[in-house]
Amino acid sequence: MGLTFLMGVSVISPAGGGEPLKITVSILPQKYFVEKIGGDRVEISVMVLPGSNPATYEPKPRQMVNLTQSKLYFAIGVPFESTWLKKLAQASPQMRIVPTQAGIEKIPMKTIHSHHGNEEGPAPGTGARDPHIWLSPPLVIVQARNILNALLEADPGNRGLYEANYKRFIMELAELDLKIARLFSERSADRRFMVYHPAWGYFAKTYGLVQVAVEAEGKQPTPKALQRLIGEARRDGIKAVFVQPQFSTKSAETIAHAIGGRVIVADPLAPDWEKNLLQVAEEFASALK
């Protein structure tokens, strides 16, 4: 199977004939990135299915079987990979695992709320690093380069196609970055936004914002912490709490009710990555007014 498959991809003509390259990615936004560069030369399977949480995900038996046909696995550094990547590699020795986060310096997860100044710091002693590198266009540019390099190595016969698609994608990313930067360029004071799960740290860092997180280390806030967050939201004039579909919204709803605000869904794992990121950025900008 492996030999036939490898032969199938090694004789692809410049016109794009032959079998597509079978690829597995960890999360839906990566499917968007790989399709942008690979076009119809790639066939992509996604590990973390819609509605699932990348922190706790366990691959299904059928997915493990499908992996035996994948030539590349694009990792991104989400928590389930630390448990599963070694097992996936053992189950599918012909598959190359590509860390698309290579070259990106990860920031600590923002989990503690400071009463002084504007910054939230990491929980002491945890050393947890934020995996959500796909939510900042400049960091996606780094990931795109890693994806391109792996595709060129796996399928050199389609270099021209991949490079042309990559250049187009980089232009789109630069344009999106400018659009989002403009949304926040006139904000001088109100730059704090409240989220349930601290997924938007890189986004906040890129555009000069501060995320205030409700959840800490996957745990619901204590009643005391909840009261503090409500006080903080009132003090800062926060009128919205952003939640994502993969987590419970109960605490967010409690805070929103107490401050006379609303709960807004901001999904970091939406499949139409660009459209979603711009939409979330507009929601953030609107909530800061």
> What would the pLDDT profile of 38-74 be if each residue is shown by its tens digit?
999 999 999 998 888 898 899 999 999 889 999 999 9
Could you report the per-residue pLDDT of 150-198, keeping only the tens digit for each?
999 999 999 999 999 999 999 999 999 999 999 998 766 678 899 999 9
**Tokens linked to 236:** 């800062």
Q: How far apart are the first and last CA of the chain?
A: 58
∠ CA 42-266-227, nearest 5°, is 145
The third-level CATH classification (topology) of the domain covering 2-100+132-177 is Rossmann fold (3.40.50)
Q: How far apart are CA 195 and CA 198, in angstroms?
A: 6
Regarding the domain with residue range 187-287, which homologous superfamily does it belong to in the CATH classification? Answer: Nitrogenase molybdenum iron protein domain (3.40.50.1980)
pLDDT at position 179: 97
The contacts of residue 144 (CB under 8 Å, 6+ apart) are 33, 36, 37, 166, 169, 170, 173
How does strand 240-243 pair with strand 262-265? Answer: parallel
The contacts of residue 161 (CB under 8 Å, 6+ apart) are 16, 39, 41
CATH fold match for the domains 2-100+132-177 and 187-287: yes
Query: Do 111 and 217 touch, CB atoms closer than 8 A?
Result: yes
Could you report the per-residue pLDDT of 223-257, keeping only the tens digit for each?
999 999 999 999 988 999 999 988 888 889 999 99
Residue 217: band (very low, low, confident or very high) from pLDDT cuts 50, 70, 90 = confident
Residue 283's H or E segment, with its range, is helix 273-287
Could you report the per-residue pLDDT of 129-150, keeping only the tens digit for each?
899 999 999 999 999 999 999 9
For the chain, which residues make up each domain, given as ranges?
2-100+132-177, 187-287
Label residue 263 left, alpha or beta by phi (over 0 means left) and psi (-120 to 50 means alpha): beta
Mean pLDDT rounded to a whole number for the chain: 87
The contacts of residue 264 (CB under 8 Å, 6+ apart) are 240, 241, 242, 243, 283, 287
Could you report the per-residue pLDDT of 76-106, keeping only the tens digit for each?
999 999 999 999 999 899 999 999 999 999 9
User: What predicted TM-score, i.e. pTM, was given to this entire model?
Assistant: 0.87
Q: How far apart are CA 109 and CA 128, in angstroms?
A: 6
Q: Is the pLDDT of residue 22 over 50?
A: yes
Query: Do 239 and 287 touch, CB atoms closer than 8 A?
Result: yes
